[in-house]
């Protein structure tokens, strides 16, 4: 199965679990998104890889006219139902892939993507698409787990994630994000990093990880190098903490910096 089909299948089955997940439904970043939207004065916004729509609701609360977009039709059905329940009439949904966005150029004042980019099959193509659909002077916010710069901890993180969820592609390091954004024609991003605790049992249950794979995750965690275990503050039950980043940038005015390499 191809990566996008794999991600759509895994997340389609997990749509309700992601709606009620406190890891996803709460966070200082959601309040910050509401403030950002409010400060922009009714921006036209895209929540890319919306999942069950937590970022979209935060943006709508700040007055944005929001489109929630995702690979998974099941996720978008949850968003439509929940938006109606919350009385958020300014929110609409549109199915699509980050790498080939179904929107004309210069459609949005603000593009936000939260906890999704690590599933994208080819981030350079997706970032070029984001740049295409953003208006000149528009804003891009990426919120996602970030890989440690130390290879010993980076490798552990990618291993855990892939065992837990076969649709995991890669958590990028901050230095990788800076290079990816520059190559896609964005200015150097402002970044804030914080830690997100992950409770092991609910983390694997959310993705319906099989017992065999969950056992492998516990084993990899238990036997990992001390430096990596310390980085992730691994607990006896397998719970650990992730570094999460808020990256905020705008299209660069220097047209020559956009990398034309294609994934096709």
Ligand X SMILES: C[S@@+](CC[C@H](N)C(=O)[O-])C[C@H]1O[C@@H](n2cnc3c(N)ncnc32)[C@H](O)[C@@H]1O
Give the CA distances from residue 71 to residues 21, 37, 92, 188, 249, in Å, rounded to whole numbers and listed in that order: 19, 24, 15, 28, 24
Select the span of 1-9, 83-91, 132-140, 235-243 touching ligand X (CB under 6 A).
1-9
Nearer to ligand X, 98 or 140 (CB): 98
One residue of 33, 59, 60, 70 binding ligand X per CB under 6 A: 70
Nearer to ligand X, 69 or 139 (CB): 69
One residue of 36, 45, 98, 184 binding ligand X per CB under 6 A: 98
Residues linked to residue 196 through DSSP beta bridges, in sequence order: 242
Q: Count each helix (H run) and each strand (E run) in the chain, helices first.
A: 12, 7
Q: What angle (nearest 5°) sits at the alpha carbon of residue 129, between those of residues 146 and 264?
A: 95
Assign 3-state DSSP to the chain and report helix, strand, coil percentages, each to 5.
45, 25, 30
Nearer to ligand X, 141 or 156 (CB): 141
Element (H, E) at 52: none
- Is residue 120 part of the contact set for ligand X (CB under 6 A)? yes
- Are 226 and 235 in contact by the 8 Å Cβ rule? The answer is no
One residue of 115, 177, 232, 240 binding ligand X per CB under 6 A: 115
Q: Closest approach of Cβ 204 to ligand X, in Å? A: 14
Select the span of 92-100, 149-157, 223-231, 233-241 touching ligand X (CB under 6 A).
92-100
Select the span of 64-72, 191-199, 241-249, 251-259 touching ligand X (CB under 6 A).
64-72
Q: Count of residues binding ligand X (CB under 6 A)?
A: 24
One residue of 34, 50, 209, 249 binding ligand X per CB under 6 A: 50
222/216 Cα distance (integer angstroms):
10
- Is residue 246 part of the contact set for ligand X (CB under 6 A)? no
User: What tokens were used for 53?
Assistant: 């729509």
Helices (H), 28-187: 28-40, 54-61, 73-86, 123-133, 151-164, 174-183
Q: Footprint of ligand X on this chain (CB under 6 A)? A: 4, 7-8, 11, 18, 24, 49-51, 54-55, 70-72, 75, 97-99, 114-116, 119-121
């Amino acid at each position: 199965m191809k990566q996008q089909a794999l991600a759509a299948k895994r997340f389609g089955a997990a749509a309700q679990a992601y709606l009620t997940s406190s890891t996803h439904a709460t966070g200082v970043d959601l309040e910050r998104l509401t403030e950002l939207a409010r400060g922009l004065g009714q921006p036209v916004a895209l929540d890319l890889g919306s999942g069950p729509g937590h970022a979209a609701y935060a943006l709508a609360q700040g007055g944005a006219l929001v489109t929630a977009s995702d690979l998974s039709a099941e996720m978008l059905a949850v968003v439509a139902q929940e938006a109606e329940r919350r009385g958020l009439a300014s929110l609409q949904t549109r199915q699509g892939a980050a790498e080939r966005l179904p929107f004309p150029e210069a459609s949005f004042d603000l593009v936000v993507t939260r906890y999704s980019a690590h599933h994208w099959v080819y981030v350079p193509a997706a970032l070029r698409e984001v740049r295409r659909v953003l208006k000149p002077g528009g804003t891009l916010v990426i919120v996602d787990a970030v890989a440690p710069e130390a290879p010993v901890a980076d490798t552990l993180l990618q291993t855990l994630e892939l065992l837990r969820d076969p649709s995991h592609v890669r958590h990028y390091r901050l230095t990788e994000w800076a290079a990816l954004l520059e190559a896609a024609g964005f200015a150097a991003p402002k970044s804030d990093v914080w830690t997100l605790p992950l409770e092991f049992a609910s983390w694997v249950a959310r993705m319906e990880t099989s017992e065999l794979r969950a056992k492998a995750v516990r084993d990899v965690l238990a036997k990992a190098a001390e430096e990596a275990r310390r980085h992730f503050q691994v607990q006896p039950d397998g719970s650990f903490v992730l570094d999460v980043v808020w990256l905020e940038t705008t299209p660069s005015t220097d047209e020559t910096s956009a990398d034309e390499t294609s994934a096709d």
